[in-house]
Chain A
Amino acid sequence: DAKTTQPPSMDCAEGRAANLPCNHSTISGNEYVYWYRQIHSQGPQYIIHGLKNNETNEMASLIITEDRKSSTLILPHATLRDTAVYYCIVRVDPGNFNKFYFGSGTKLNVKP
């Protein structure tokens, strides 16, 4: 089973920041937090990942709490095209195998 907990849905006004929370209270010290999103019925799209430090790329920012038990994905200026299901994933990595376990995600609705 997935080791993360996310709210099932959230709304955000277009142009505003979208802050998507994720709890991963049982995360281990060497496990990364990954975020993906899925638009309509397309394949999941990688957004960002991090271990303990905050990360930023051209799509989003990832804020990880100091105890690493939760994180927040921030879309700084949400657009209608950001409407999607967002998945927070803790990477389970036995050996070199990069298995990802997805939960049910958060449906983000960006409204005009």
Chain B
Amino acid sequence: DAGITQSPRHKVTETGTPVTLRCHQTENHRYMYWYRQDPGHGLRLIHYSYGVKDTDKGEVSDGYSVSRSKTEDFLLTLESATSSQTSVYFCGTGLGSSPLHFGNGTRLTVT
């Protein structure tokens, strides 16, 4: 949907290792978002971006950083992965007041 590609789709990593997830969009949307989803919860906002190099924290940002050097790419980095960051990560994009569209997610397992 909305030309959103998340990579990788699945990843298993060890505690303490750095991990970077990528969201790529082809729609030239200004706004991009990273959410995580855990069992029994809806999506929770980690970080969002409102333009190139413009980012801000969401409700569960601890342990995560983001970067947006190009309009089409929004990277989510776990500097030192922990087991509590095992989750499914969704990227969303949007234009101003328009609805968000989401990618199909990245399933991350931290062992």
**B-contact bits for A60-99, CB 8 A (1 contact / 0 none):** 0000000000000000000000000001000001001111
Residue in A closest to B42 when the chains form the complex, CB atoms: A102
Most B CB contacts (10 A, CB to CB) among A2, A93, A98, A100 go to A98
Residue B63 CB within 8 A of the other chain: no
Bound: A104/B105 CA distance, A: 18
Let me know if A43 and B1 touch, CB within 8 A: yes
Let me know if A41 and B105 touch, CB within 8 A: yes
Q: Which residues of B contact A101 (CB under 8 A)?
A: 45, 59
Residue B33 CB within 8 A of the other chain: yes
What are 13 A-B contacts with C-beta separation under 8 Å? A41-B88, A43-B90, A43-B92, A45-B102, A49-B99, A93-B97, A96-B50, A97-B48, A98-B98, A98-B100, A99-B45, A102-B42, A104-B40
Say yes or no: A43-B102 contact (C-beta < 8 A), given A97-B31, A97-B50, A99-B33.
Answer: yes
Residue in A closest to B58 when the chains form the complex, CB atoms: A99
Q: Which residues of A contact B92 (CB under 8 A)?
A: 43-44, 100
Bound: A46/B107 CA distance, A: 21
Q: Which residues of B contact A44 (CB under 8 A)?
A: 43, 90, 92, 100, 102
B interface: dominant SS: strand
> What 8 A-B pairs have minimum CB-CB distances, sorted nearest first?
A43-B102, A102-B42, A102-B43, A46-B99, A44-B102, A43-B104, A103-B42, A98-B94
User: Which listed residue (A43, A93, A105) contacts B42, Cβ 8 A?
Assistant: A105
Let me know if B42 and A104 touch, CB within 8 A: yes
Bound: A4/B63 CA distance, A: 27
**A-contact bits for B68-84, CB 8 A (1 contact / 0 none):** 00000000000000000
